[in-house]
Chains A and B, each alone.
Chain A
Amino acid sequence: DAGVIQSPRHEVTEMGQEVTLRCKPISGHNSLFWYRQTMMRGLELLIYFNNNVPIDDSGMPEDRFSAKMPNASFSTLKIQPSEPRDSAVYFCASSALAGGQTQYFGPGTRLLVL
């Protein structure tokens, strides 16, 4: 079975541009998580969804960040406008409520904002 799929794997953009990161969770998983990883701050949870509903977005750094999950098999994380400090690796993870809270991570999107 396919794991969590993220696209793009790498993104280079200029400050002020809109960036959209995409995630397809593992089929049958009920929860989806967006994380950001940087050297300075480590792994940070940005937002998570249960059954497509956002449960906690307290980790979203500011209004420039937004996330949606229109259906069980797709989620987006959007940054508009992007800034150089948004440069990081963004991970999507999914878990099954019956799966003991184990989160399975995608390969990540490496974002560089110039």
Chain B
Amino acid sequence: AQKVTQAQTEISVVEKEDVTLDCVYETRDTTYYLFWYKQPPSGELVFLIRRNSFDEQNEISGRYSWNFQKSTSSFNFTITASQVVDSAVYFCALSPNTNAGKSTFGDGTTLTVKP
């Protein structure tokens, strides 16, 4: 069985602060994908990033960066210089390489960025 844990239920920061959202996962699969999705107040689920278990390189996209560490089964997400528009619920998800139907989503972290 696989599991995704987002221990931080809610985080509140002030604009321009950096914030890291934690994601820890469990799986018996040797190959898998990890994802982050954003759900803003408007309600849609927006895909942010996919990381293959083969690739432990960190990734940066603008103010967003992701740190994948297989040794600790973590896939953390950092927002640098947060903005009010970053306020949303962020979901981490895990999927076996061969079966998206077995995807597991974490419970989400609600990020509030105050002006």
Interface residues of A (CB under 8 A from B): 31, 33, 42-43, 45, 48, 50, 55-56, 89, 91, 93, 95, 100-108, 110
Contact = CB atoms under 8 A, between A and B. Distances in A.
Q: Interface size bucket, B side?
A: 20 to 34
Given A31-B101, A33-B101, A103-B100, A108 B33 contact: no
Contact of A42 (B50, B52, B97, B108): B108
Given A45-B101, A56-B101, A89 B50 contact: no
A50 B47 contact: no
Main secondary structure of the interface of A (DSSP, over half): strand
A55 B101 contact: yes
8 shortest interchain CB distances as A-B pairs: A101-B100, A105-B45, A48-B101, A101-B95, A43-B105, A107-B44, A95-B100, A101-B33
A105 to B, nearest CB: 4
